[in-house]
Amino acid sequence: MPDLVAPKLHYHVPAPRGSLSECDYAELEVTTNYSFLRGASHPDELMYRAAELGYRAIAITDFNTLCGVVRAYEGWKETSSKGPAPKLIIGARLTLNDFPDLLVWATDRASYGRLCRLLTLGKRRAEKGSCLLTLDDFLQHQEGLLAAIANRHEHPFRHPAIELLHRSKCRNTYDRLIQLRETLGDRLSLAICRLYGGSDVRQIDAVLTLGKQLGIPPLATNCAYYHDPSRRVLQDVLTCIRHLVPIQQAGYHLFPNGERYLKPPAAMHRLFDDLPQAIQRGLEIAERCTFSLAELRYEYPNELAPEGKTPMQHLSELAWEGARTRYTQDLPQKVSDLLTRELTLIEQLHYEAYFLTVNDIVRFARSRGILCQGRGSAANSAVCYCLGVTSVDPSRIDVLFERFISAARGEPPDIDVDFEHERREEVLQYIYEKYGRERSGMTAEVISYRGRSAVRDVGKALGLSLDMVDQMAKRLEGWSAGTISESQLREIGLDPANPHIRQVMDITSQILGFPRHLSQHVGGMVMTRGPLCEMVPIENASMPGRTVIEWDKNDIDTLGILKVDCLGLGMLTCLSKALVLMNERSPRELYQIPPEDPAVYDMICQADTVGVFQIESRAQMSMLPRLKPRNFYDLIIEVAIVRPGPIQGNMVHPYLRRRNGEESVTYPSEALREVLSKTLGVPLFQEQAMKIAMVGAGFTGEEADQLRRAMAAWRHHGSIERFHQRFIDGMLANGYTPEFADYCFMQIRGFGEYGFPESHAASFALLVYASAWIKHYYPAEFACALINSQPMGFYAPAQIVRDAKAHGVTVLPPDVNHSTWDCLIESDGENALRLGYRLIKGFRRESADTIAAAREHAGQFTSIEQFQRQTGMKRKDIQKLAEADAFASLGLKRREALWQAMELSDDHHPLFDLVPSISINNQQSTLPPMALGQEVMTDYATTSLSLKQHPVSLIRPMLDEMRIIPACRLADLPQETWVKVVGLVLVRQRPATASGIVFETLEDETGTANIIIRTQIYERYRAAARHAVLLECDGYIERNGMVIHILARRLTDLTHLINDLHHHSRDFH
């Protein structure tokens, strides 16, 4: 009961205070949505609102994190460019194990560094996402930090001061408080807020009493969780998601009312009219915090130049030396000019250390024999080429160094390097090793709510049944906007007018884009000269051995911190393995592959590209015969054109028509001819989009670059629209027609999804050519490397093997006397591909290595008993081998081998090894023999492929009766013929660009058939279309040049036919 307090009327109206300056206010306790599932506003929203309300300052104090401060800083930059902005104070809320929570604010760069270090300490101790700190930890890092004892954030909402006053109950904490007070002196405050809780009066009283006892001043805050009162609903839902309870049961997990928003300074003054000193204290603290994120200076690591040389000298030496190696005879004038120019610019902008860093990583990879290649805009640089970072010869394509580095942009270049995906971890660990955990870290990636996850979580939080949530989430397939139309709702049996459903939809649309958790970026590494952990907190990743900084790519960009993207690329692994295999015949390096081989282009034009990098997808394959690439530049276009960007921008068909001479090549103006001549007047690359904006619409280089960023930032949907009017106006001013201006903008927006820069396409095209070349000349090695690099690419081993056989490669089954874990090339006069144990389902690598070692030691195996004696393998694993028919070289059929294997015992008796084993197996004859169908199906069941026969061929007689034609005959049939085909379903695809149309590829023993399933047909034959293993498709042939599709009209699931081959198979697929 609040009887203890003198009776008093609260909150009566104060006389309006005089000037505005008296209504100054600084909000120092703000939780943003980067305290995941707590705050209900984006940092920038809070910043804008604070500016609107005329706050003196606003602090960001997220729970044990600095994750959101850069976004707030961005918001600050934007508001301050428009007018007076509140000061942004960087801080955090520390949850301590042995003490009430502390609010902490950084006063200067040094104290900010200590805060980062403290958070790093707490996070490195704990598992990902949590933080373990004690008051002692804080005391060790307290120098220069301002702190306040925070309000409790959970219910029952009681200020820690109340407990501290009952000294007898928490003696220890009280003593710690005295210690804290003595260490911090006047840097400590007691935060209070008036949130209209039931016990406000008591709390304030306690805070004042305690403050008087110890000399700690009170500090007024409003403990803001959102910028606007309307976000209360969302905050409640987030709380429910955090606690995994439906809102009906959330009870005291929620806040009792919606007062935690940014209130106008006048309102805050009224709330604390009896405690003006508490508000004054906030302003004072704000005054003392002078730190701004702008002070963070990124410094490159400096150990990369040898003693006595400046980094620049070192870089230019390396570059020229590299140029001499690259161009053995004589250096083309163009390249040497480029080098000189680039090096000057690099020196001017002080990027030399960055190039050295990348160079160092690439050198390391090379020294370990890890294949790597730069991608992205770095390929625009001759220096990168000479350093060996990228592989696109600048003398072969037009490079645009400005795309890579520009003096105007004032931001570091972006060098992405692809490594073999299986060995990338070695490179990452090298970086950690070299720079240490304190100086290097991986970039974070903020995982945000998108359509499905949003509906799922919101639906669950509002207590919808799981089924319903599922149904709704499913309808969001392919939508990123996160809304479900009313008709869709009705379709799944929900009433759109139902207020409950309305709420779900409303809240879902609000929650979209909210960060949910941090994950790691695919490969961005940050390295610094000084300790990185004093710049940004570093935490553990869920993956062992990885540490991640708290900021993501955009944050890093904003602060001008530089990262190196170390990405993993499956094709590099494959190429590397293929080169090793080829070296047995003819040693060769990747760059020694002869360029522009017409035979290779012939193969590409035939769309004979299973396994070839990038152009193996069905969409690419159907484009190849139309585009008919004949040289390297055509390949670059091929890579760039079959992308959602150009497809949605409607650029593909105009380009094809122009290329095939069906349409004349025209340019809207002479100025644009220069930009577009390479691509026949159709913009295909990002650079061209930028140049159109510059040349056509009069954008400055800076603006064009912003446009490019907007194109790339698909997440901020709509940000590109800001440029719309500006672009159209510019185009019109330069005398272009409105239609053309619109068309161009549409195209540019198309890039917003996915578009390639030319340099990137060129880097990829190199790999396309290299892999095509190897496939053409060394099909066995290529297939072998491809299978050994799985999982990657588009096709499963079965298709790769099939394709290899089609190219005349002999493929041998896995066998204990020949195979290893990986597939091998057996050269016995002619090259044959021996499949490895990796194809056997459920077989482990260690067992494979044991077998190889035993074979080395004891020679060929002769019987199963001897096999077990030599390898010491468990019966279960041997059975797996037997089922996979891997004992054929012992003269054992699958069933006999299995029968014998089953008799083995796992207990090893070394003594019996000496006794020659007596085979008691006179049983084989009683085991029923295996029919071919069973053999094939068991092959599929154990290795997902069969070398014996294609399953469809086994039912061909039946299919003939059903008048089903083999896939190879499709080529001879005219347009619109009604056909029926049957095949195993290889691929099911529903590209986002194809508005619901599903593509499936069927395979029979003679080839493949591509079918197109329109939405209605798909819906009608849903079960068959989605689940059939063996599918019959009836429909009309559609031809387009060499490309043949079947437009499905009827689908039938024939899976039972092949299952019958296997009798009562339980385990096919």
Partner 1 sequence: MLLRTIANRQLVVACCGKAAQAGIRPEMTMAQARALSAQVEGIDWRPDLDQKALEALARYLNRFTPTVALETRDIADFESQISNLRFQIFLDLTGCEHLFGGLSNMVHRIGQALHSLRIPSILGVANTPAAAYAMTCAPVTSTGPLQRVRMIIPDDLAHPPVDSLPLHALRLPDEILQTLHHLGLETIGQLCKLSRESLPSRFGPILLRRLDQLDGRLPEPLVPLAWTTPMVARFDFDGSVADPQALELTCRDLLEKLLLELERKGKGIRELRITLERVDAPAEQLTISASRPSRNLRSLMGLYRCAFDQLGISHLKSPISKRNYSRNYDVGFTAMVLEVTRGQSLAHQQVTLGDSDRVQCDDAWQNTLDLIRTRLGETSVAQVQLEHSYLPEKAFKRTAANIPEKEACDAELSGSRPLVLQSPPIELGVMVAPSHDADGAPLSFNLQGTSHTVKYAFGPERIAGQWWEGHNKTRDYFDVADEAGRRYWMFRVQETGKWFLHGRFE
Interface with partner 1 (CB under 8 A): 1-2, 7-14, 155-156, 195-201, 232-233, 236, 247-254, 256-259, 267, 270, 462-463, 467, 470-471, 492, 499-500, 503, 879, 883, 895, 898-899, 902-903, 905, 920, 923, 926-930, 934, 938, 1022-1023, 1026-1027, 1063-1064, 1066-1067
Nearer to partner 1, 500 or 722 (CB): 500
Q: How far is the CB of 23 from partner 1 (least distance, A)?
A: 13
Which residues does residue 1050 pair with via DSSP β-bridges, in sequence order?
1034
Nearer to partner 1, 199 or 292 (CB): 199
Nearer to partner 1, 130 or 249 (CB): 249
Nearest to 889 by CA among 910, 860, 918: 860
Q: How far is the CB of 12 from partner 1 (least distance, A)?
A: 5
Q: How far is the CB of 903 from partner 1 (least distance, A)?
A: 5
Which residues does residue 103 pair with via DSSP β-bridges, in sequence order?
93, 148
The three-class DSSP label of residue 1060 is helix
CA 827 – CA 836 distance, rounded (Å): 15
Q: How far is the CB of 467 from partner 1 (least distance, A)?
A: 7
Q: How far is the CB of 250 from partner 1 (least distance, A)?
A: 8
Nearer to partner 1, 722 or 1063 (CB): 1063
Nearer to partner 1, 155 or 334 (CB): 155
CA 654 – CA 679 distance, rounded (Å): 11
Token output for 933: 């169908």
Burial of 462 (0-12, 13-18, 19+ CB in 10 A): buried
Q: How far is the CB of 192 from partner 1 (least distance, A)?
A: 16
Nearer to partner 1, 172 or 257 (CB): 257
Q: How far is the CB of 920 from partner 1 (least distance, A)?
A: 8
DSSP H helices, 893-1006, are: 894-903, 932-943, 951-954, 956-961
Q: What is the secondary structure of 239-296 as a DSSP string?
A: HHHHHT--GGGTGGGS-SSS--B---HHHHHHHTTT-HHHHHHHHHHHHH----GGG-
End-to-end CA distance of the chain: 70
Q: How far is the CB of 1055 from partner 1 (least distance, A)?
A: 11
CB 68 within 8 A of CB 558: no
CB 666 within 8 A of CB 775: no
For tokens 């592959």, name the residue.
Answer: 593
The three-class DSSP label of residue 476 is coil
Nearer to partner 1, 580 or 1023 (CB): 1023
Q: How far is the CB of 1022 from partner 1 (least distance, A)?
A: 6
Q: How far is the CB of 511 from partner 1 (least distance, A)?
A: 15
CB 70 within 8 A of CB 555: yes
Q: How far is the CB of 841 from partner 1 (least distance, A)?
A: 13
Nearer to partner 1, 14 or 808 (CB): 14
Q: How far is the CB of 101 from partner 1 (least distance, A)?
A: 20
Q: What is the secondary structure of 52-91 as a DSSP string?
A: HHT-SEEEEEEET--TTHHHHHHHHHHHHHHS--PEEEEE
CA 667 – CA 679 distance, rounded (Å): 11
User: Radius of gyration over alpha carbons of the chain, in Å?
Assistant: 34
Nearer to partner 1, 555 or 935 (CB): 935
Distance of CA 353 to the CA centre of its chain: 27
Q: How far is the CB of 235 from partner 1 (least distance, A)?
A: 11
Nearer to partner 1, 203 or 390 (CB): 203
Type of residue at 904: L
Q: How far is the CB of 813 from partner 1 (least distance, A)?
A: 17
Nearer to partner 1, 631 or 919 (CB): 919
Q: How far is the CB of 1020 from partner 1 (least distance, A)?
A: 13
CA 473 – CA 1039 distance, rounded (Å): 37
Nearer to partner 1, 83 or 493 (CB): 493
Q: How far is the CB of 251 from partner 1 (least distance, A)?
A: 2
CA 134 – CA 144 distance, rounded (Å): 18
CA 453 – CA 451 distance, rounded (Å): 6
The three-class DSSP label of residue 810 is strand
Nearer to partner 1, 198 or 735 (CB): 198
Beta carbons within 10 angstroms of residue 949's beta carbon? 14
Q: How far is the CB of 1049 from partner 1 (least distance, A)?
A: 21
Nearer to partner 1, 270 or 516 (CB): 270
- The side-by-side arrangement of strands in the sheet containing 538-540 is 372-375, 415-420, 563-569, 515-527, 440-448, 547-552, 538-540
Token output for 38: 């707590």
Nearer to partner 1, 771 or 942 (CB): 942
Nearer to partner 1, 126 or 997 (CB): 997
Nearer to partner 1, 264 or 625 (CB): 264
Burial of 203 (0-12, 13-18, 19+ CB in 10 A): buried
For residue 420, the surrounding DSSP H or E stretch is: strand 415-420
- The side-by-side arrangement of strands in the sheet containing 810-812 is 810-812, 830-834, 824-828
Nearest to 46 by CA among 65, 69, 23, 22: 69
Burial 773-804 (b: 16+ CB within 10 A, else e): bbbbbbbbbbbbbbbbbbebbbbbbbbbbbbb
The secondary structure of residue 892, as a DSSP letter, is -
CA 992 – CA 647 distance, rounded (Å): 11
Q: How far is the CB of 1045 from partner 1 (least distance, A)?
A: 25
Nearer to partner 1, 140 or 249 (CB): 249
Residues composing the chain? 1069
